[in-house]
Amino acid sequence: MTIKYTPEHEWLQIEADGTATVGITVHAQDALGDVVYVDLPAVGATFKPHDVAGVVESVKAAADVYMPVTGEITEVNEALCDDPSLANTDPLGAGWFFKVKLANPSELDALLDKTAYDDLVKNA
């Protein structure tokens, strides 16, 4: 299992079948505070990197969730819609946002590994 990160604080867990699960990082949910609402993309929607794929709202602010790669949404986390606080309590697990079928796996090379992401956050 490979995990990649974006400078905009999304994470991707890459699966062997060419799909990726996407969510927001611990840093992002810490910065947002208590998440109260999420707007997720429609299954079947296609996106390019940096397209806005969703919105997360907290008691402090609203933030866009950006698509890290080109692909088609194959699943959304309905449990997150019912209980947005999952983005706070388990951002790297049960608080995932959506799954995407990768159209161009080479785009993953442009994303950050854990060490590079940790350095980005530490120097922010």
Provide the number of structural domains found in the chain: 1
Domain limits at 95?
A: 2-122
What CATH number does residue 53 fall under?
A: 2.40.50.100
**Entry pTM:** 0.95
Tokens standing for 120? 């980005």
Q: Name the nearest CA neighbour of 41 among 92, 76, 3, 15.
A: 76
Phi and psi at 122, nearest 5°, equal -65, -35
Tokens of 91: 């951002």
Q: Considering only CA atoms, which of 98, 116, 103 is closest in space to residue 22? A: 98
Q: Which residues, at least 6 apart from 114, have a Cβ–Cβ distance to it below 8 Å?
A: 3, 5
CA distance 13 to 19: 8
Taking only the tens place, the pLDDT of each residue in 77-111 is 999 999 999 999 999 999 999 999 999 999 999 99
